[in-house]
Amino acid sequence: MEWNWKRIPAEYLVANVRLCRDGKLSARPGFLHVQKGRLVALGLGAPTREDLPALDGGGLVCAPGLVDVHVHFREPGQEEKETVATGSRAAAAGGFTAVVTMPNTRPPVDDAPMVRYLLDRAEETGLCRVFPTAAISKGQEGETLTEFGDLVKAGAVGFTDDGRPVMHGKLMQYALQYARMLGVPVTCHAEDTTLAGKGVMHAGYWSTKLGLAGLPRLAEDAMVFRDVELARTTGGHLHVAHVSTRGTVEIIRRAREQGVNVTAEVTPHHLSLDHSCCRDFSPLFKMSPPLREQDDIEAVTQGLVDGVLDCIASDHAPHTAMEKELMFDQAPFGVVGLETALAVCHTHLVRTGKLDLGQLVERMTSRAAATYGLPCGTLEEGGEADFLLFDPDEEWTVQPELLKSKSKNTPYGGQKLTGRVKATFLRGRLTHRDGE
Amino acid sequence: MSLRSKDLIGLEELSREEILTILEAAEAFRTIFDRPIRKVPIMRGRTVVNFFVEPSTRTRISFELAEKRLSADIVNFDASTSSLKKGETLRDTAENIQAMKIDMIVVRHSSPGAAAYLGRVLKASVINAGDGAHEHPTQGLLDIMTMRQRLGNLEGRKVTIIGDIAQSRVARSNIYGLTKLGAEVTVCGPPTMVPAAISRLGVKVEHDLRRAVADADVLNVLRIQLERHSQMVFPGNREYHLMFGVTEEVLRHTKPACFVMHPGPMNRDVEISSEVADGPRQVILEQVTNGVAVRMAVIYLLSGGDPRQLGGGVRAGGRGED
- d(CA B171, nearest CA chain A) in Å: 10
- d(CA A198, nearest CA chain B) in Å: 10
Could you give the CA distance from residue A234 to residue A293 in angstroms, rounded to a whole number?
34
CA atoms within 13 Å, Cβ hemisphere of B43: 28
Cβ pair A211:B111 closer than 8 A: no
Cβ pair A205:B133 closer than 8 A: no
Cβ pair A328:B111 closer than 8 A: yes
Alpha-carbon torsion A294, A295, A297, A302, what sign?
A: positive
- d(CA A254, nearest CA chain B) in Å: 29
Asked if residue A344 lies in contact with residue A336, where contact means CB atoms within 8 angstroms, the answer is: no
pLDDT digits (tens, 9 = 90+) for A350-402: 999 999 999 999 999 999 999 999 999 999 999 999 999 999 999 999 999 99
Could you give the CA distance from residue B54 to residue A31 in angstroms, rounded to a whole number?
65
Amino acid residing at A13: L
Q: Is B8 helix (H, G, I), strand (E, B) or coil?
A: strand
Which candidate, A373, A383, A389, A396, places its Cα nearest to that of A421?
A389
pLDDT-based confidence at residue B80 (cuts at 50, 70, 90): low
β-bridge mates for residue A41, sequence order? A33
Summary mean pLDDT of chain A: 97
Asked if residue B82 lies in contact with residue B55, where contact means CB atoms within 8 angstroms, the answer is: no
Q: Is B176 on the interface with A (CB under 8 A)?
A: no
How many interchain CB pairs under 8 A, A with B? 63
Task: Pick A327's closest partner by Cβ from B111, B195, B200.
Answer: B111
- Provide, as residue numbers in chain B, all residues whose Cβ is less than 8 Å from the Cβ of A200: none
Task: Pick B134's closest partner by Cβ from A205, A211, A326.
Answer: A211
Q: Phi and psi dihedrals of B22, rounded to 5?
A: -65, -40
Could you give the CA distance from residue B84 to residue B297 in angstroms, rounded to a whole number?
30
Find the helix packing angle between A217-234 and A169-182, rounded to 10°. 50
Q: Is B165 on the interface with A (CB under 8 A)?
A: no
- Provide, as residue numbers in chain B, all residues whose Cβ is less than 8 Å from the Cβ of A205: 197, 200
pLDDT of B322 > 50? The answer is no
Count helices and strands (H / E) in chain A: 13, 19
Cβ pair B132:A197 closer than 8 A: no
- d(CA B115, nearest CA chain A) in Å: 10
Amino acid residing at B20: L
pLDDT digits (tens, 9 = 90+) for A191-224: 999 999 999 999 999 999 999 999 999 999 999 9
pLDDT digits (tens, 9 = 90+) for A132-156: 999 999 999 999 999 999 999 999 9
Q: Which residues contact A81 (CB under 8 A, 6 or more apart)?
A: A74, A318, A319, A320, A406, A407
Q: Chain A residue closest to B130 (CA)?
A: A211
pLDDT digits (tens, 9 = 90+) for A218-273: 999 999 999 999 999 999 999 999 999 999 999 999 999 999 999 999 999 999 99
Asked if residue A138 lies in contact with residue A146, where contact means CB atoms within 8 angstroms, the answer is: yes
Could you give the CA distance from residue B108 to residue A31 in angstroms, rounded to a whole number?
64
Q: Phi and psi dihedrals of B12, rounded to 5?
A: -60, -40
Could you give the CA distance from residue B285 to residue B272 in angstroms, rounded to a whole number?
15
pLDDT digits (tens, 9 = 90+) for B152-189: 999 999 999 999 999 999 999 999 999 999 999 999 99
Q: Give the mean pLDDT of A106-119.
A: 98
Cβ pair A329:B135 closer than 8 A: no
Q: Which residues contact A187 (CB under 8 A, 6 or more apart)?
A: A133, A158, A159, A160, A162, A238, A239, A240, A241
CA atoms within 13 Å, Cβ hemisphere of B142: 31
β-bridge mates for residue B49, sequence order? B75, B105
Q: Which residues contact A102 (CB under 8 A, 6 or more apart)?
A: A70, A71, A72, A133, A160, A162, A163
Q: Is A401 on the interface with B (CB under 8 A)?
A: no
Which candidate, B101, B94, B33, places its Cα nearest to that of B69?
B33
Q: Give the mean pLDDT of A60-77.
A: 98
Q: Is B91 on the interface with A (CB under 8 A)?
A: yes
Q: Give the mean pLDDT of B304-314.
A: 75
Cβ pair B197:A208 closer than 8 A: yes
Cβ pair A210:B134 closer than 8 A: yes
Among residues A315, A329, A393, A434, the one annotated as catalytic is A315
Which candidate, B249, B277, B253, places its Cα nearest to that of B263?
B277
Cβ pair B111:A280 closer than 8 A: no
Burial of B225 (C-beta count, 10 Å sphere; 0-12/13-18/19+): middle
Q: Which residues contact A48 (CB under 8 A, 6 or more apart)?
A: none
Summary mean pLDDT of chain B: 92
Cβ pair B89:A197 closer than 8 A: no
Question: Is residue A110 annotated as part of the catalytic site, yes or no?
Answer: no
- d(CA B111, nearest CA chain A) in Å: 6
Q: Could you give the dihedral angle defined by the CA atoms of residues A228, A371, A361 and A64, in that order, rounded to the nearest 10 degrees?
A: -170
Q: Chain A residue closest to B121 (CA)?
A: A325
Give CA separation, B73 vs B41, B58, B79, B91, B289, in Å: 11, 19, 20, 23, 22
Residue B306 pLDDT = 87
Burial of B41 (C-beta count, 10 Å sphere; 0-12/13-18/19+): middle
Q: Is A278 helix (H, G, I), strand (E, B) or coil?
A: helix
- Provide, as residue numbers in chain A, all residues whose Cβ is less than 8 Å from the Cβ of B172: 209, 211
Give CA separation, B89 vs A32, A326, B159, in Å: 53, 7, 40
Range scoring the smallest mean pLDDT among A279-288, B13-22, B35-44, B66-75:
B35-44
Q: Is A281 on the interface with B (CB under 8 A)?
A: yes
pLDDT-based confidence at residue A17 (cuts at 50, 70, 90): very high
Residue B267 pLDDT = 94
